[in-house]
Amino acid sequence: MRSLTGAVLLLVILAAASPTFGQGPDLTGEMEAHKIICDENNREIAVPAESVYPHDMVEYTLKYRNSGNAAASGVNLVGPIPAGTVYLDQTATNIDGLHPLFSIDGGKTYHEYPVTYVVVDENGQEQEHVATPDMISHVKWMMSGTFDIGQQVSVSYRVQVQ
C-alpha cells in the first residue's frame, strides 16, 4: 500500500505578471488524486486515493483559477509523475490552448509526444529512441494566450501504481 499525500505536493504554476499590492493576477490552484475503479458494468468511477496498491490507476487533476483583477500570461501547469508510478500513455488532457508536453529528465526540459532522445552506440553513432511511458517524469501544459480574470482551467493525467 502507498500513500499519495507526499507525491502530490509538487505543483508549479508560473505567471509572467505578478500581483503588486493586491493588483494583478491572483492564481490559485489545487491538485486532486482519485483512484479509478470500474463498477459491475465496467464504468469508471473516481474514488478518493487515500491508499493505493500495485496496478491501481490514479488520476491527478490540476484545477486553477485567476481570482485577481488582471489577466496573466506565460502560465504553465506542471504535474509530477510520482515515484512508484508510471504515466499512462495518452491520458493527459489535450484541449485548445492547453497542449501537454512531457519531460523525461525530471522537469528540466519538455517535449511534444512522442518524446524522443538520442543514445550514442559503441561505434559513436547517434540513435534516436522513443521514450517509454515509464520514463515520463512530468507533464506540463503551457497556456497559450492569457489566463483571463475569473477564468478557471482543469487538466488531468493518469498513472499506474507499480
22-62: pLDDT as tens digits: 689 999 999 999 999 999 999 999 999 999 999 999 999 99
Q: What is the CATH number of the domain that holds 144?
A: 2.60.40
Question: Based on the structure, what is the number of domains in the chain?
Answer: 1
In a domain, 19, yes or no: yes
pLDDT at 23: 82
* Complete edge-to-edge strand list for the sheet that includes strand 85-87: 44-48, 27-38, 57-66, 152-161, 85-87
In the predicted structure, residue 109 carries a pLDDT above the cut 60: yes
pLDDT at 1: 52
Q: Which of 112, 105, 98, 160 is nearest to 136 (CA)?
A: 105
Q: Which of 159, 162, 156 is nearest to 31 (CA)?
A: 156
In a domain, 106, yes or no: yes
Q: In this structure, what is the dihedral angle of CA atoms 92, 47, 76, 66, given to the nearest 10 degrees?
A: 130
* Residue position matching grid coordinates 529528465: 105
Of the two residues 145 and 12, the one the predictor is more confident about is 145
In the predicted structure, residue 21 carries a pLDDT above the cut 60: no
In the predicted structure, residue 8 carries a pLDDT above the cut 60: no
Q: For 17-26, 46-55, 108-117, which range has the lowest pLDDT when averaged over its residues?
A: 17-26
Report the run of H or E that residue 116 belongs to, with start and end.
Answer: strand 116-120
In the predicted structure, residue 10 carries a pLDDT above the cut 60: no
pTM of the model: 0.84
Q: For residue 121, what are the domain limits? A: 6-161
In a domain, 102, yes or no: yes
In a domain, 13, yes or no: yes
The mean predicted confidence, pLDDT, of the chain is 89
In a domain, 1, yes or no: no
